[in-house]
Amino acid sequence: MPVQNFEQIFQGKIDNEVKIEPKDWMPDAYRRTNIRQISQHAHSEVVGMLPEGNWITRAPSLKRKAILLAKVQDEAGHGLYLYSACETLGVSREETMNDLHSGKAKYSSIFNYPTLTWADIGAIGWLVDGAAIMNQVMLTRTSYGPYARAMVRICKEESFHQRQGFESLLVLSRGTEEQKAMCQDAINRWWWPALMMFGPKDSESTNSDQSMKWKIKRKSNDELRQNFVDMIAEQIKTLGMKLPDDKLKWNDERRHYDFGEINWDEFWQVVKGNGPCNKQRLDARKKAWEEGEWVREAAAAYARKKASPNPSKGGALEAA
Amino acid sequence: METTYSNNKFSKVPPQDGFRVAYILHLADNSLILGQRNAEWCGHGPVLEQDIAITNISLDLIGQARSFYQYAAQLINQHSPSPGGGRGEASEDSLAYLRTEREFKNCLLAEQPNGDWAQTMLRQFLYSTYQYYLYRFLQTNSDTTIAGIAEKSLKEVSYHLRWSSEWVIRLGDGTEESHKRMLRAVDELWSYTGELFIPAPYEKELSIDTAFLKDDWAKKVNTVFDEAALTVPSNVFMQEGGKTGTHTEHLGYILSDLQYLQRAYPGCDW
By the CB < 8 Å criterion, does A287 face chain B?
yes
Whether residue B47 and residue A118 make contact (CB cut-off 8 A), yes or no, is: no
**Top-confidence residue, B3 or A198:** A198
Domain ranges of chain B: 15-264
pLDDT at A316 over 50: no
For chain B, give the longest Cα–Cα distance.
63
Q: In angstroms, rounded to a whole number, what is the distance separating the alpha carbons of residues A155 and A78?
A: 10
Asked if the Cβ–Cβ distance from B93 to A61 is below 8 Å, we say yes
Average pLDDT per 10 consecutive residues for chain B, totaling 270 residues: 46 77 98 98 96 98 98 92 63 97 98 98 98 97 97 98 98 98 98 97 92 96 98 96 98 98 96
At A152-165, the pLDDT tens digits run 999 989 999 999 99
Mean pLDDT of A138-143: 94
Where do runs of H (alpha helix) occur along A88-144?
93-102, 119-123, 129-139
The number of angstroms, rounded, from the C-alpha of A147 to the middle of its chain's C-alpha atoms is: 13
- A29/chain B closest Cα distance in angstroms: 29
Query: How far separated are the first and last CA of chain A, in Å rounded?
Result: 57
- Residue B11: CB atoms within 10 A of its CB come to 10
Whether the per-residue pLDDT at A311 is higher than 80: the answer is no
- Nearest in space to A45 (alpha carbons), one of A85, A67, A75, A74: A75
Q: Check residue A119 and give its pLDDT.
A: 98
> Residue A180 — pLDDT band, cuts 50, 70, 90?
very high
Residue at A88: amino acid letter: T
Residues of B in contact with A53 (CB under 8 A): 42-44
As a whole-number percent, the residues of chain A with pLDDT over 70 amount to 96
Does domain B15-264 bear CATH number 1.20.1260.10? yes
Answer for the pair B185, B119: CB distance below 8 angstroms, yes or no: yes
The pLDDT value given to residue B6: 40
Q: Which of A73, A179, A301 sits opposite B268 (nearest CB)?
A: A179
* Pairing state between β A249-251 and A256-258: antiparallel
Distance CA A263, CA B88 (A): 49
CB atoms within 10 A of CB A3: 9
DSSP one-letter string for A218-256 = -S-HHHHHHHHHHHHHHHHHHHT---S-TT-EEETTTTE
pLDDT at position A319 is 38
Report ipTM (2 d.p.). 0.94
Chain A touched by B216 (CB under 8 Å): no
CB interface of B with A, residues 46-65, below 8 Å: 46-52, 55-56, 58-59, 62-63, 65
Chain A residues near residue B39 by CB distance under 8 angstroms: 56-57, 65, 69
- Bridge partners of A257, per DSSP, are A250
| 67-96 of B, contacting A, C-beta below 8 A | 69, 92-93, 96
Q: What's the pLDDT at B209? A: 86
Q: What is the CA radius of gyration of chain B?
A: 18
Q: What is the pLDDT of residues A234-267, one digit of tens each?
A: 999 999 999 999 999 999 999 999 999 999 999 9
DSSP A144: B
Name the closest residue on chain A to residue B93, using Cα atoms: A61
Which of A298, A283, A293 minimizes the C-alpha distance to A112? Answer: A283
The secondary structure of chain A in percent helix, strand, coil, rounded to multiples of 5, reads 70, 0, 30
The mean pLDDT of A104-131, rounded to a whole number, is 97
Please spell the DSSP secondary structure of A58-117, one letter per residue: T-SSHHHHHHHHHHHHHHHHHHHHHHHHHHTTT--HHHHHHHHHHT-S---GGGGS---S
Find the length of chain B. Answer: 270
CA distance A107 to A103: 10
pLDDT at A208 (0 to 100): 74
Decide: pTM greater than 0.90: yes
Nearest to B265 by CA among A170, A117, A178, A172: A178
- What was the pLDDT predicted at B11? 58
Q: State the nearest Cα–Cα gap between B199 and chain A, in angstroms.
A: 27
Does position A144 have pLDDT exceeding 60, yes or no?
A: yes
CB B42 within 8 A of CB B58: yes
Separation CA B38–CA B20 (nearest Å): 27
What's the rounded Cα separation, in Å, for the pair A36 and B165? 39
CB contact under 8 A, B48 and A80: yes
Mean pLDDT of A88-102: 95
Flag whether residue B200 sits within 8 Å of chain A, measured between CB atoms: no
Q: Mean pLDDT, to the nearest integer, of A61-81?
A: 97
* Furthest C-alpha separation in chain A: 78
The whole-angstrom distance between A95's CA and the closest CA on chain B is: 14
Mean pLDDT across chain A = 93
